[in-house]
Amino acid sequence: MNVLDTRYRYGAVSRAIHWSMAVLLVLMLGSDWLMEAFEGLGEAQLMGLHKSVGVLLLGLLVFRLAWRRANRGRLEAPEHWEWASRLGHWALYGMMVLIPATGLLAAMGSGHGVEFFGLPLISPGAEIEWLEDAAEETHEVTANLLWLLIAGHVVAVLAHQLWLHDRTLKRMA
Q: Quick check: 72 pLDDT over 70? A: yes
Instruction: Tell me what pLDDT residue 59 has.
Output: 96
Q: Which long-range contacts (CB under 8 A, 24 or more apart) does 89-98 make?
A: 91/149, 92/146, 92/149, 92/150, 92/153, 93/61, 93/65, 95/142, 95/145, 95/146, 95/149, 96/21, 96/25, 96/57, 96/58, 96/61, 96/146, 97/58, 97/61, 98/138, 98/142
Q: What confidence tens digit (pLDDT) does each residue in 88-135 have?
A: 999 999 999 999 999 999 999 999 999 999 999 999 999 999 999 999
Instruction: Tell me what pLDDT residue 172 has.
Output: 85
Instruction: Tell me what pLDDT residue 160 has.
Output: 84
The whole-angstrom separation of Cα 150 and Cα 155 is 9
E strand spans, the chain: 114-116, 119-122
Q: What confidence tens digit (pLDDT) does each residue in 17-42 have?
A: 999 999 999 988 887 777 777 776 67
The whole-angstrom separation of Cα 71 and Cα 14 is 9
Q: Quick check: 16 pLDDT over 90? A: yes
Mean pLDDT of 42-50: 82
Mean pLDDT of 52-76: 89
- Share above pLDDT 70 across residues of the chain, in percent, rounded to a whole number: 94
pLDDT band at 78 (very low <50, low <70, confident <90, very high): low
Instruction: Tell me what pLDDT residue 102 has.
Output: 96
Mean pLDDT of 36-52: 80
- The model carries a pTM of 0.88
DSSP-derived 3-state class of residue 122: strand
